[in-house]
Amino acid sequence: MSESRTIRGRVLAPHATDRALTLHEDVVVRVDASGRITDVGAPGDDAPEVTRPGCVWMPGFVDTHIHFPQARVLGSASGELLPWLQKTVFPEESRFQDVEYAREVARDFCASMLAQGTTCASVFSSSHPGATDALFAEMDRRGLRGDVGLTLMDRGAPEALLRAPAEAMAACEELVERWHGADGDRLRFRVTPRFALSCTPEMLEAAGELAARHDLPIQTHISENPDEIEATAAAFPEARDYLDVYRQAGLLGSRSLFAHGVWLSETEWDGVKSADASISHCPDSNFFLGSGPMPLKEATSRGVKLGLGTDVGAGRSYSLRRCCSRAYDASKLTGSDTDAAELLWFATRGGAIAMDRADQIGLVESGFDADLIAIRPLDPDADLATLCEHLVFLEDRGGVEEVRVRGVVRWTQDALVD
Ligand code: GUN
Ligand code: ZN
């Protein structure tokens, strides 16, 4: 069993903290029965055959921001953020009170992530406990790693999506009890107030208390769109800025993951850094909703923890490779210096750090879980820089061929592995 999990081949290996990668031409990655890498070394006399010749192996992608109940409305172009939420998102998310519908979409959602090489994700569910439980169950069944949150909302949306703080917290407690830390910490519950405009101050405070009580990770949206920012300032007149709304509710800390951050001020970027919080950069979504390009240099110059997010369904694709390509475009528009290798680092190791899983994944090294994927690049002999550019920019050349989580094959190009 353990030998069958061993991989031999070309391996693209992120560095632990430097935003860079190393290309190993031919190594053997040994994996034990629990799915942990035990050794990475040169092939000896007893080395197995190359696994999927012509492919490059690398850590699975980490999607630090994605919405489960938007899986069926990808590409619905109904305007900028606030009108799009009202016209497209809230009506669709209301359908998730039907647990059967949620189960069906969860199957498609998890399969779509695996097919793009995503092995770990930070997911917003709908505001329905039944749908959230169904998503956890499907992620468990498919072997995916990740965090899921019941999306908290008690204002600004149709009645079918609203839940008062006391009831929402009781539902969260049950989900925490059932899923948080499941299967050796493969699954986690993440406290998920949708964004300030969807929550009363009481809801935000209850969310902060819940996170503190169980030491839970947190996720929400911040500073995505100018109209949203203006409305937030009006709704929370006592807050200094958008970040301060979350700070005052106890939602700003080292386990907080904020999506977008397109329009954060210098003071807010400093605040994110000093709290050791993380940013999920969602460039495809930012382009689709016309939110604007996030200035990557604000994060990199401060060393802010950052991962990439598809933000399906404002993002149009489950592919982190496509997301890297869009992040490159956004960097060009904001005078931010980056390259394909650095963006692949953010899409793997950076995401692992942003999701507080730096000790589990994102490195091809002894002691880390073997969440590994095989991609067939255009040119199997390309050097490191060219290989990274092909993986990032040639989106329609060279697909994901195999996906493993903890050494177990969870998807191949030929068939879904149930
Ligand atoms: N802000 C609040 N909710 C959402 C959402 O569902 N998607 C995006 N992109 N931004 C949000
Ligand atoms: Zn989002």
Residue pLDDT, tens place only, 91-136 = 999 999 999 999 999 999 999 999 999 999 999 999 999 999 999 9
Common-topology check for domains 3-59+362-412 and 61-354? no
Residue 289 Cα: closest atom of ligand 1: 9
pLDDT for 415 equals 61
Q: How far is the CA of 31 from the centre of ligand 2 (A)?
A: 35
- The percentage of the chain sitting over the pLDDT mark of 90, rounded to a whole number, equals 96
Which residue has its alpha carbon closest to ligand 1 atom 3? 194
* Domain assignments of the chain as residue spans, ordered by start: 3-59+362-412, 61-354
What ligand is nearest to the CA atom of residue 229?
Answer: 1
- Which pLDDT tens digit goes with each residue over 131-161? 999 999 999 999 999 999 999 999 999 999 9
Fold of domain 3-59+362-412 = Urease, subunit C; domain 1 (2.30.40)
85 CA distance to ligand 1 middle (Å): 7
List of residues 6+ apart from 259 with CB closer than 8 A: 64, 65, 219, 220, 221, 222, 224, 279, 280, 282, 309, 311
Other beta carbons less than 10 A from residue 239's beta carbon: 18
The number of C-alpha atoms within 13 Å of 61 and in the hemisphere containing its C-beta is: 30
Distance of CA 404 to the CA centre of its chain: 17
Q: 175 near 189, Cβ under 8 Å?
A: yes
Measured distance CA(66)–CA(7) in Å, rounded = 30
The CA radius of gyration of the chain, in Å to the nearest whole number, is 20
5 lines ligand 1 (CB under 6 A): no
**Residue 414: predicted pLDDT:** 77
Average pLDDT over all residues of the chain: 96
Q: In terms of DSSP H, where are the helices of 85-225?
A: 90-94, 99-115, 129-142, 165-179, 182-185, 201-214
What gap in Å lies between CA 124 and CA 357, rounded to an integer? 18
Neighbouring residues of 365: CB distance < 8 A, sequence distance ≥ 6: 13, 37, 40
Query: Beta-carbon neighbour count of residue 267 at 10 Å?
Result: 12
Q: Are the beta carbons of 73 and 92 closer than 8 angstroms?
A: yes
d(CA 144, CA 147): 10
CA 344 – ligand 2 centroid, Å: 21
Task: Return the pLDDT at 183.
Answer: 98
Q: Is the CB of 285 under 6 A from ligand 1?
A: yes
**Secondary structure of residue 86 in the 3-state scheme:** helix
- The domain defined by 61-354 folds into TIM Barrel (3.20.20)
- Whether the pLDDT of residue 1 is over 50: the answer is no
* Beta-strand relationship, 61-67 and 408-412: unpaired
Q: Give the tens place of pLDDT for each residue, 250-304.
A: 999 999 999 999 999 999 999 999 999 999 999 999 999 999 999 999 999 999 9
Asked whether 194 lines ligand 1 (CB < 6 A), one says: yes
Ligand closest to Cα of 196 equals: 1
How many CB atoms are closer than 10 A to CB 193?
27
Q: How high is the pLDDT of residue 4? A: 77
**Mean pLDDT, range 358-374, rounded to an integer:** 98
CA distances from 120 to 71, 98, 99, 169, 323 (A): 17, 26, 23, 25, 15
Ligand nearest the Cα atom of residue 122: 2
Pocket test for ligand 1, best of 68, 72, 81, 285 (most atoms within 8 A of CB): 81
Torsion of CA 119, 178, 313, 91, to 10 degrees: 160
> In this prediction, what percent of the chain has a pLDDT beyond 70?
98
Distant-in-sequence, close-in-space partners of 396: CB < 8 Å, separation ≥ 6 = none
Q: Is 127 helix (H, G, I), strand (E, B) or coil?
A: coil
**Given pLDDT bands bounded at 50, 70 and 90, which one contains residue 395?**
confident
pLDDT of 3 higher than 60? no
> Which residue, among 355, 405, 356, has the nearest Cα to 64 in the 3D structure?
355
pLDDT at 47 over 50: yes
Q: What angle do CA 224, 119, 94 make, to 5 degrees?
A: 50
Give the ligand 1 atom nearest the CA of 285: 9
The answer to whether the CB of 67 is under 6 A from ligand 1 is yes
The encoded tokens of residue 347 equal: 């899409």
pLDDT band per the 50, 70, 90 thresholds, residue 2: very low
Q: Average pLDDT of 164-168?
A: 98
> Residue 32 pLDDT more than 80?
yes
Rounded Cα distance between 281 and 258, Å, is: 9
CA 384 to ligand 1 center in whole angstroms? 36
- Residues 6+ away with beta carbon under 8 Å from 18: none
Determine the residue type at 355.
M
Element (H, E) at 386: helix 384-393
Residue with tokens 């953020």: 81
- Split at pLDDT 50, 70, 90, the class of 418 is low
